[in-house]
Structure 1
Amino acid sequence: MAVEKIHTLVVGAGQAGVAISEHLGKNGVEHLVLERGRIAERWRSMRWDSLVANGPAWHDRFPNLDFPGDPDAFVPKEQVADYFEAYARKNGAPIRCGIEVTGVERLARRPGFRVETSGGVIEARNVVAATGPFQKPNIPPLVPAEAGLNQIHSSEYRNPAQLPEGSVLVVGAGSSGVQIADELMRAGRRVYLSVGPHDRPPRSYRGRDFVWWLGVLGKWDAQAQAPGAEHVTIAVSGARGGETIDFRRLAAQGTVLVGMTGAYTNGTLSFSDDLARNLERGDRNYLSLLDEADAFVADNGLNLPEEPEARVLGPEVDCVANPLRELNLADAGVSTIIWATGFSSDYSWLKVNAFDEAGRPKHQRGVSSEKGIYFLGLPWLTGRGSSFIWGVWHDAKHVADHIVIQDNYLSYSR
């Protein structure tokens, strides 16, 4: 059987794969994008039903195509997936769906890679891993299966009706965990929310969304997370038209806040004594951004409405003043634990020298330590914006430019 040959093979047709296909195509680089599911599959099948984008439509998009409708709206997940399909069609992206890449190895004594796929073998000079960071759901091995609880990862959650009757413990208070907990509480469930260290920016302030403030304050330009903040989540939501996350307000509405989840013993979970500290850290992050925004308005003479009520924090609540240190799950009626504890990458198919001792990609702005291998779609790939749709587009441009530059070097002759 003949081996198909291609200059650059892109693995994954999510936002990263669609973005780099545009840049490669504009540069005349022959390429192919393989996707084991549908275009933007994870937006369709690994998100809950009511999810909307965390940024407004005017900002959370690629530069060359707007979302239809209100530019200040937060777009539902299905429409986000449709957007990427439309963008791929607009640029004539050469995408093959339903093809899984199972192995990539460097060719012997010649440039390029042998790529094993469910549709046959392909040889490619370059391979772009655009599969992103959401391959393997992280579920801490705390509560054994024999405990008889319904345990799912946040990527498996769809809606409240999916869960058995009873109370729910949500572990993790980043964007996913806090939105799922809020939805369950509004559906009438008793909800316990385990809150760790987090940042919680204002959804909007003085008439501008927080993504605008991050832009004018230069915070999108950050090249790396501050030391010690690598595992700090961000609590922000576009639900119900966008609102600032305030954990104390959630507690006042009925959600029971607890600290970080610790050990499990004989049906009882213990929690760290860090709830108040974690909330105070989020408050400091929130108020510091308001301070910087006010200073920017004053320094630049902007006519933006004052918003003193934004500095009024949620009420003090008993679950913060007297936090639970342990919870007997049966006595509390907890039937489900939702682990909103993030993901880990899975590059087991990529059998090349491009990873450190911990299995993390070794790269600079997506350019791997293994010549001809590239990474896209990772958080902080080039900076803070890399986790956002618009940031992926700019990251992809850098990777595509690097591929073209290398081709120019190789084509040089005296």
Structure 2
Amino acid sequence: MPSHETEVLIVGAGQAGVAMSEHLTARGVPHLVLERDRIAEKWRTGRWDSLVANGPAWHDRFPGLEFDGMNQNAFASKDRVAAYFEAYAEKFDAPIRCGVEVKKVIRNKESSGFIVETSDGTITARSVVAATGPFQKPIIPALVPEDSNVQQMHSSSYRNPQQLPDGVVMVVGAGSSGVQIAEELRRSGRDVILSVGPHDRPPRQYRGQDFVWWLGVLNKWSAVAPPKGAEHVTIAVSGANGGHTVDFRALAASGIKLVGRTESYKDGSLRFSQDLARNIANGDANYLSVLDEADAYIQRNSLDFPEEPEAHVLGADPDCVSNPTLEIDLAATGITSIIWATGFAVDYSWLPTNAVSENGRPNHQRGVSAESGVYFLGLPWQSHRGSSFIWGVWHDAKYIAEQIMIQRGYLEHLGSTTPDNGIETTGQGDTAGPVPTAADAYAL
């Protein structure tokens, strides 16, 4: 690819990059999307075979397109989700180039904007949107040595039970991924131990409505920051097998052994925190609080929803919670594999220094970077609780597009939006007529 110039370069063609491209296309902003793999690649190859979306099809989508040919209350498979984003990009002819990796973004010292080094040439761009999402570098805690005779993998490398050696499987992490993988392994006949940390546990459905609906009408999706102390609390919810409420008591009854948060390793043994009962209780409290708020909402709005008193009954704690195991000898217990469902770290080392903080995290407000001209999209809690969900990223992309339009409006005052230096311009949507001013952008 020869040298090109585009007004906005979007890095990544997952849900964030596709959403960003749609909003820029609608506003006539020339842009280009670069994707090192394929559109929505993480949905294709970055998860296990049986993964489905955690929200029903009517909710986990963009406003401009429904999932075709499926029950809108069902949960789309990962392949259906990937196909959805491909179809969405085709709908507005998104200028996406696959198989091109961005290596470095450098501030252009001779002109405005940035010089972007890629695996297929150099691109000059006035603005750059980092739409690579939060799932970049799998985190495996450095606890169990590689020579421990135990197969270790991150949840992003797990595909199905058949890839694991015979023996007991340890799953570390009880968010959506860890719980669903542990359930699948147990249904396949495997003995499973699940390490449970702090978590929220919403009801999958209550009184006829899915939890995504309840979080919407109760204004929980709109929360702009996690509660203090809950920044790293995961959400235990599942769309698998038609969707169901995650119930750790039911998991224990199915034969899964629950232990507390994994703390350390020594002499062939894993040690666990004494927090299992507390983590279960806090998850229960979160679950019951949603039920109580839902009941109050129904009464306040005089809704004729079916009663569901049994949802409030939790039952007794299983023995593994009342009498927790604090240490397990891996060999003696027969553990042959460990799946670390312990989340991801980000890697923005390819961006200019000011765009990231000292710990490598994005330095931004609502996706607008401290490095002028750099934007982030697809981050957890970028602007609200729903930011990293499919529908939430679409709305965050709209905000970033508005910020780009505001900057275009200011530049119009100088009589130009894109410098004409003879370099070929890529992207689509050349503007016809005057460029919107800042005031126009605020009115979008």
Fold shared by both chains (TM-score > 0.5): yes
Matches within 5 A, 1:3-402: 3-68=3-68, 69-402=70-403
- What CA deviation, in whole Å up to 9, does each residue of 1:293-346 have, x standing for no partner? 000101110000010111121443111111101000111110000000000001
Partners of 1:193 and 1:256 within 8 A in 2: yes
Corresponding pairs, count: 414
Letter in 2 for 1:99: V
Aligned 8 A contact 1:17 1:33 in 2: yes
Q: Distance in 2 between matches of 1:152 and 1:244?
A: 26
Cα shift at 1:91: 1.1
Aligned residue number for residue 427 of structure 2: none
> Unaligned 5+ residue runs, structure 1?
none
Q: What displacement does 1:352 show?
A: 3.4
SS of 2:386's equivalent in the other structure is helix
Aligned equivalents of 1:29 and 1:113: distance in 2? 17
- Contact 1:5/1:124, CA 8 A, preserved across alignment: yes
Secondary structure of 2:397 counterpart: helix
1:43: Cα distance to partner?
0.3
**What SS does the corresponding residue of 1:220 show, helix, strand or coil?**
coil
SS in 2 for 1:44: helix
Could you tell me whether the CA contact under 8 Å between 1:247 and 1:314 is conserved in 2? no
Using the TM superposition, give the Cα deviation of residue 364 of structure 1 relative to its aligned residue in structure 2, in angstroms: 1.2
| C-alpha contact (below 8 Å) 1:175/1:236 kept by paired residues | yes
| In structure 1, distance between residues paired with 2:288 and 2:128 | 44
Runs ≥4 in structure 1, deviation > 3 angstroms?
Answer: none
Distance in 2 of aligned mates of 1:108 and 1:16: 29
What letter is aligned with 2:15? Q
For 2:44, the aligned partner's letter is: R
Structure 1 letter corresponding to 2:46 = M
Which residue identity does 1:46 align to in structure 2? G
Residue type of the alignment partner of 2:380: P
Aligned-residue CA RMSD (Å): 1.0
1:356 CA drift (Å): 1.5
Per-residue Cα deviation, 1:116-144 (whole angstroms, up to 9, x for no partner):
10110111000000000111000000000
Q: Distance in 1 between matches of 2:177 and 2:216?
A: 23
Given that residues 19 and 393 in structure 2 are in contact (C-alpha distance below 8 angstroms), is that contact kept between their aligned partners in structure 1?
yes
Q: Is the 8 A contact 1:55 1:238 kept in 2?
A: yes
Q: What amino acid does structure 1 have at the position aligned with 2:28?
A: G
In structure 1, C-alpha distance between the alignment counterparts of 2:183 and 2:342, rounded to whole Å:
17
Offset at residue 2 of structure 1 (A): 4.8
Find the residue that maps to 1:408 and give its secondary structure. Answer: helix
Question: In 2, distance between residues paired with 1:247 and 1:92?
Answer: 45
SS in 1 for 2:72: coil
SS state at 1:146 partner:
coil
CA contact (8 A) 1:175 1:234 kept: yes
What percent identity do the matched residue pairs reach? Answer: 66
| Residues in 2 aligned to 1:30 and 1:14: alpha-carbon distance in whole angstroms | 19
Q: Deviations over 1:168-193 (max 9, x none)?
A: 00000000000000100111111000
Shift of 1:351: 2.8
Deviations 1:360-396 (A, max 9, x none): 1111111111110000010000101102101000000
Q: Which secondary structure state, in structure 2, belongs to the residue aligned with residue 387 of structure 1?
A: coil
Residue identity matched to 2:229 = G
Q: Is the contact between residue 57 and residue 75 of structure 1 (CA under 8 Å) also seen in structure 2?
A: yes
Q: Assess if the C-alpha contact under 8 Å between 1:252 and 1:315 holds in 2.
A: no
The letter of the residue matching 1:152 is M
Tell me, yes or no, if the aligned pair for 2:349 and 2:360 is still in contact at 8 Å.
Answer: no
Q: Is the 8 A contact 1:17 1:130 kept in 2?
A: yes
Q: Secondary structure at the match of 2:53?
A: coil
- Alignment partner of 1:386: what SS? coil
Contact kept in structure 1, 2:152 and 2:339, CA below 8 Å = yes
Question: Which AA in structure 1 matches 2:119?
Answer: S
How far did 1:109 drift?
4.1
